[in-house]
A and B are shown apart, each in its own frame.
Chain A
Amino acid sequence: MNSAIQVIPLEWYILLSTVLFTIGVLGVLFRRNAIIIFMSIELMLNAVNLLLVAFSSFLSDSKGQVFVFFIMAVAAAEVAVGLAILMMVYRNTKSSDINVLNKLKW
């Protein structure tokens, strides 16, 4: 069975997800706004999801796609908790800058 996914060669998927993942990592590293960091994390997750779906299709193995659903479910739960934490941080510090949270040190 030749699905629509396989119209594009596998290398392009790998390249795209690598680029997306790297953008995510760099976003986490260099941005200070907590919400943007959060979005970068989602970007990394979805880069991995893309890779999983692509491999799953090319190898004709549905396990990868099942795994993607798991990741999406977990990500949804994580977003719910994470956003709640961000809400509390903002209420307490009137800021979404993560560098404000530097009280816990030597």
Chain B
Amino acid sequence: MIKLVGLVPLLPLIGFVIIGLFGKSLSKGIVGVIGCGSVLAAFAVSLGIFFELTGQAEKSVTIDLFSWITAGKLSIPFSFLIDPLSSLFLLIVTGIGFLIHVYSTGYMSHDEGFARFFAYLNLFIFFMLLLVLGSNYLIMFVGWEGVGLCSYLLIGFWFKNTAYNNAAKKAFIMNRIGDLGFLLGIILIFVTFGSIGYHDVFEQAKNMATGSPVLTSIALLLFVGAMGKSAQIPLFTWLPDAMAGPTPVSALIHAATMVTAGIYMVARSNILYTLSPVAMETVAIVGVCTALFAATIGLAQNDIKKVLAYSTVSQLGFMFLALGVGAYTGAVFHVMTHAFFKALLFLGAGSVIHAMSGEQDIRRMGGLKKHLPITHITFLLGTLAIVGCPPFSGFFSKDEILANAFENNKLLWFLGVLGAAMTTFYMFRLYFLTFKGDFRGTKEQHHHLHESPKSMTMPLVILAVLAVIGGLVGIPEALGGKHMLEGFLKPVFEDSSFRMVHSMSHENEYMLMGIAVLVMLGSLYYAYQVYVKNKTLPAEESEDLKPLHLLVYKKYWVDEFYENLITKPLNFFSDVLHKLFDNQIVDGFVNGIGRFITWLSGILRYAQTGNMGFYVFAMVIGIVLILFTRIF
């Protein structure tokens, strides 16, 4: 099966080409079958690859497809790398991708852009697979840019709405800032190691001294790329706005797969980070700050998708915290469980929005429990998973991250626990306000309430099952498990293993788990008191908020801050350049040349008299002059 790896990205690409070219003349049924089928087939091949890889001793296989770029000393093959890390991501991308494709056939069934939507979605899967499969940084970069493009196209999917288009542009431009860092990182890698293939680079990097400045620079530049793609401070503001896209897009691209590309990249380059303590520290600090910062914003948002968006930013922060403390396995573990429960939560939110005829404000919801039984129960399971309630999947992955943070730095651990407590609060706030209590929407909406069709509830159920049991692949030894995931991923992180010391006693681990669960329960109880017992409702727009509440509700005015500090001066500067430099100097020069030529030819044209004798005379004079210059 490993030999057939080329098929994995090829199938969605074929799906994209067929739907993209002929989508308008195909029926929605056929488009759905092609869209879902191509991803399902890719998933089947990925499954085959996964099992073949687990069954064989060789854990890192490079498949050369063709020679891509050859110029001077630079030679870049187009080849795929199959190892535990990429095969795991293959399964996540194609598996979750397939479920979300199926969900979309229901969610988008009334949309006139149905075929366009599936074409973009298939193209996204193609690029995402390229990103995780490539055996060098350039292929990863192509996939990286490709998913950015698809993200842009899908955020602005309903392009008739200006606000949505602006959100799409914002996402694209903020990602460009990060991509610049990534690109510089790749160039620096090439300059330093003379190659950009993972294998060559890591083999050479292994022998370099810890903390060498060039490694630190590379690691930090790559991390700038990861900041953009994975929405970390300071480049996180695009992700909440990206919720303008259709909900399946939010689930697939802006929660489960694309935004985890940054984690994949850092995990892939783990040796570069391990050898650079400064970069590691930066990653951990940025991660924990983002986790806390986004969680506080999530506490006060009233849009069901915005809450989930800030939750995603926060969870991504947790993953970077894990990377920063050297818990690469923990980060990948959390990517996996997060993909399950966050995709589930987004799809559940989509189901709610679908039932509420497009309403997204949780102040207008409530009491949906009896109207949407399947959505309710799956959403509850997803919520329990994300808050880290044992034995759901989030518990194991979050516990592993916090335990590693505790070993590294107590302060990081404390901030992580604080973030986790807030996660519990805002997630249950969301859950209680949406599903418990009385319905607060209009009569019309109440009349319209209905459970979503099978095509939407089936993916919910499957994802709920995964969100519940997904953690079982990583049960820590303290709880009598073997942590299969760690064993599986070991070959990838082997070179970095000297940094990962597991000196913690089981007692300590029990204590940390106990604290995490207690904090979670306390936070849950508080949310219950506030939103179920006292039936507090979030303030309406017109009400005055207390300063702290207002600060969080307004998202710390980060957008306004960027607007005034960066966008406006930049616009002013380009305006000056446009009016002064471009219009006056550049245009003046170009127009001046034109005017001079016109003036000169206006004089010279009188030489054309129409008198034949004059022409002949001029010709003879000319010949005589030429002869003279030739002879003398």
CB within 8 Å of B: which A3-59 residues? 25, 28-30, 32
Q: Is A93 an interface residue (CB 8 A)?
A: no
CB within 8 Å of B: which A71-106 residues? 98-99, 101-106
B513–chain A nearest beta-carbon distance, Å: 97
Q: Are B609 and A105 in contact (CB under 8 A)?
A: yes
Q: A25-B620, A29-B617, A29-B620 are in contact. Are A106 and B608 (CB under 8 A)?
A: yes
Q: Is B610 an interface residue (CB 8 A)?
A: yes
Q: Are B617 and A102 in contact (CB under 8 A)?
A: no
Q: Is B611 an interface residue (CB 8 A)?
A: yes
A80–chain B nearest beta-carbon distance, Å: 21
User: Among the listed B605, B606, B610, B617, which residue makes an inter-chain contact with A104, where contact means beta carbons less than 8 Å apart?
Assistant: B610
Q: Which residues in B have their C-beta under 8 angstroms from that of A106?
A: 605-606, 608-609
A102–B610 alpha-carbon span in the complex (Å): 4
Q: Are A28 and B610 in contact (CB under 8 A)?
A: no
Q: Are B616 and A99 in contact (CB under 8 A)?
A: no
Q: Are B612 and A101 in contact (CB under 8 A)?
A: yes
Q: Is B613 an interface residue (CB 8 A)?
A: yes
B623–chain A nearest beta-carbon distance, Å: 10
Q: Are B620 and A98 in contact (CB under 8 A)?
A: no
Q: Which residues in B have their C-beta under 8 angstroms from that of A98?
A: 612-613
Q: Are A32 and B608 in contact (CB under 8 A)?
A: no
A101–B609 alpha-carbon span in the complex (Å): 11
A69–B10 alpha-carbon span in the complex (Å): 73
A102–B611 alpha-carbon span in the complex (Å): 5
B614–chain A nearest beta-carbon distance, Å: 9
Q: Which residues in A have their C-beta under 8 angstroms from that of B620?
A: 25, 28-29
A105–B609 alpha-carbon span in the complex (Å): 5
A32–B612 alpha-carbon span in the complex (Å): 9
Q: Are B612 and A105 in contact (CB under 8 A)?
A: no
Q: For the side of the interface on B, what is the size category?
A: 10 to 19
Q: Which residues in B have their C-beta under 8 angstroms from that of A28?
A: 616, 620
Q: Which residues in B have their C-beta under 8 angstroms from that of A25?
A: 620
Main secondary structure of the interface of B (DSSP, over half): helix
Q: Are A99 and B612 in contact (CB under 8 A)?
A: yes
Count of CB-CB pairs between chains A and B under 8 Å: 31
Q: Are A105 and B616 in contact (CB under 8 A)?
A: no
Q: Which residues in A have their C-beta under 8 angstroms from that of B606?
A: 106
B600–chain A nearest beta-carbon distance, Å: 14
Q: Which residues in B have their C-beta under 8 angstroms from that of A29?
A: 613, 616-617, 620
Q: Which residues in A have their C-beta under 8 angstroms from that of B617?
A: 29
A29–B616 alpha-carbon span in the complex (Å): 7
Q: Which residues in A have their C-beta under 8 angstroms from that of B605?
A: 106
Q: Which residues in A have their C-beta under 8 angstroms from that of B608?
A: 104-106
**Residue picked from B610, B612, B616, B617, most chain A C-beta under 10 Å:** B612
User: Among the listed A32, A103, A104, A105, which residue makes an inter-chain contact with B613, where contact means beta carbons less than 8 Å apart?
Assistant: A32
Q: Which residues in A have their C-beta under 8 angstroms from that of B613?
A: 29-30, 32, 98-99
Q: Which residues in A have their C-beta under 8 angstroms from that of B612?
A: 98-99, 101-102
B4–chain A nearest beta-carbon distance, Å: 73
User: What mask results when residues 602 to 632 of chain B are scored 1 for a CB within 8 Å of chain A, else 0?
Assistant: 0001101111110011001000000000000
A104–B605 alpha-carbon span in the complex (Å): 12
Q: Are B616 and A103 in contact (CB under 8 A)?
A: no
Chain B, Cβ-Cβ closest to A103 = B610
Chain B, Cβ-Cβ closest to A104 = B610
User: What mask results when residues 576 to 618 of chain B are scored 1 for a CB within 8 Å of chain A, else 0?
Assistant: 0000000000000000000000000000011011111100110
Chain B, Cβ-Cβ closest to A32 = B613
A104–B608 alpha-carbon span in the complex (Å): 8
B615–chain A nearest beta-carbon distance, Å: 10
Q: Are B616 and A102 in contact (CB under 8 A)?
A: no
**Residue picked from B605, B611, B613, most chain A C-beta under 10 Å:** B613
A105–B607 alpha-carbon span in the complex (Å): 9
B236–chain A nearest beta-carbon distance, Å: 69
A101–B614 alpha-carbon span in the complex (Å): 12
A29–B620 alpha-carbon span in the complex (Å): 9
User: What mask results when residues 31 to 69 of chain B are scored 1 for a CB within 8 Å of chain A, else 0?
Assistant: 000000000000000000000000000000000000000
A100–chain B nearest beta-carbon distance, Å: 9
Chain A, Cβ-Cβ closest to B610 = A105
Chain B, Cβ-Cβ closest to A31 = B613
A103–B608 alpha-carbon span in the complex (Å): 11
A104–B616 alpha-carbon span in the complex (Å): 15
A29–B613 alpha-carbon span in the complex (Å): 6
A104–B620 alpha-carbon span in the complex (Å): 21
Q: Which residues in B have their C-beta under 8 angstroms from that of A103?
A: 610
Chain B, Cβ-Cβ closest to A28 = B616
Chain A, Cβ-Cβ closest to B609 = A105
A1–B617 alpha-carbon span in the complex (Å): 44
A102–B609 alpha-carbon span in the complex (Å): 7
Q: Which residues in A have their C-beta under 8 angstroms from that of B616?
A: 28-29
A16–B616 alpha-carbon span in the complex (Å): 24
A104–B610 alpha-carbon span in the complex (Å): 5
Chain A, Cβ-Cβ closest to B605 = A106
A101–B611 alpha-carbon span in the complex (Å): 7
Q: Which residues in A have their C-beta under 8 angstroms from that of B609?
A: 102, 105-106
B335–chain A nearest beta-carbon distance, Å: 77
Chain B, Cβ-Cβ closest to A106 = B605
Q: Which residues in B have their C-beta under 8 angstroms from that of A104?
A: 608, 610
B602–chain A nearest beta-carbon distance, Å: 10
User: What mask results when residues 311 to 330 of chain B are scored 1 for a CB within 8 Å of chain A, else 0?
Assistant: 00000000000000000000
Q: Which residues in B have their C-beta under 8 angstroms from that of A30?
A: 613
A106–B610 alpha-carbon span in the complex (Å): 8
A29–B610 alpha-carbon span in the complex (Å): 15
A101–B612 alpha-carbon span in the complex (Å): 7
Q: Which residues in B have their C-beta under 8 angstroms from that of A32?
A: 613
B345–chain A nearest beta-carbon distance, Å: 80
Q: Which residues in A have their C-beta under 8 angstroms from that of B611?
A: 99, 102, 105
A28–B614 alpha-carbon span in the complex (Å): 11
**Known contacts A29-B617, A102-B612, A106-B608; 17 further A-B pairs (Cβ under 8 A):** A25-B620, A28-B616, A29-B616, A29-B620, A32-B613, A98-B613, A99-B611, A99-B612, A99-B613, A101-B612, A102-B610, A103-B610, A104-B608, A105-B608, A105-B610, A106-B605, A106-B609
- The 14 listed contacts between A and B (C-beta, < 8 Å) are A28-B616, A29-B613, A29-B616, A32-B613, A99-B611, A99-B613, A102-B610, A102-B611, A103-B610, A104-B610, A105-B611, A106-B605, A106-B608, A106-B609
Which 9 pairs show the lowest CB-CB distances between chains A and B?
Answer: A105-B610, A102-B610, A98-B612, A106-B605, A105-B608, A106-B608, A104-B610, A105-B609, A102-B611
